[in-house]
A and B are shown apart, each in its own frame.
Chain A
């Protein structure tokens, strides 16, 4: 299993540009999430999905869109990039079981710089 994969590893954008961060998992996990990691802020939840066709907002959703057309993929779209979106983005997946108290599996991250 490849686990959780993310592409690209690093991206530089200009303010106002759009892009999609890709996330895929091959573990047949129902639950997928996007986080951003900023110094001193820990990880903050952007959007999450509990299954194909179902998404919901997290703590910091503004400026980001998601969709979940398949179990495997959960792309994150930046419609109009802003310098405040400079961050490291992590995708994570998990599964139902143990009453839902299960760990998350994280991808390697995408480092985004918005100029």
Chain B
């Protein structure tokens, strides 16, 4: 079964410092990976995705993610954190098992807190 894990419930970082939010995955076949962000009382918003190609994927709001096949990881990164980046971040993988072509499996989420 395909799955994603976000090992940290919360990540704290000082404004201006680089941030990393971790995600590891387990899939059969090629991984199709996504990051979403959720601000308070809002739905999830798409940040970026990895299908194939370059291991460093760039997305919205200055975020990027590094795909590492040997470590089965897809960590979200940003060179300089902003207070406004404080939110809940979800990693997701597309489930390609069975007939669930458009089913997605989400991690449990990581709360990012950027301190001024």
Contacts and interface: CB of A to CB of B under 8 A. Distances in A.
Interface stretch (A13-21, A69-77, A99-107): A99-107
Contacts of A4: 43
Given A42-B109, A58-B103, A101 B51 contact: yes
Give the dominant DSSP class at A's interface: strand
B41 to A, nearest CB: 8
A42 B9 CA distance: 11
- Number of contact residues on A: which range applies? 20 to 34
Given A42-B90, A42-B106, A103 B43 contact: no
Interface residues of B, number: 25
Interface in B26-69: 32, 34, 36, 41-46, 49, 51
A41 B43 contact: no
Interface in A1-22: 4
Interface stretch (B70-78, B79-87, B94-102): B94-102
Contacts of B49: 101, 103
B101 A43 contact: no
B99 A108 contact: no
A13 B105 CA distance: 29
A94 B103 CA distance: 10
Contacts of B51: 98-99, 101
Interface string A47-71: 0101000001010000000000000
Interface centre among B9, B32, B94, B102 (most CB of A within 10 A): B102
Contact of B43 (A33, A56, A109): A109
Contacts of A41: 108
A113 to B, nearest CB: 15
B37 to A, nearest CB: 11
Given A42-B90, A101-B51, A104-B44, 8 more contacts: A31-B102, A35-B106, A43-B90, A45-B104, A101-B94, A103-B49, A105-B46, A108-B41
Interface of B: 9, 32, 34, 36, 41-46, 49, 51, 90, 94, 99-109
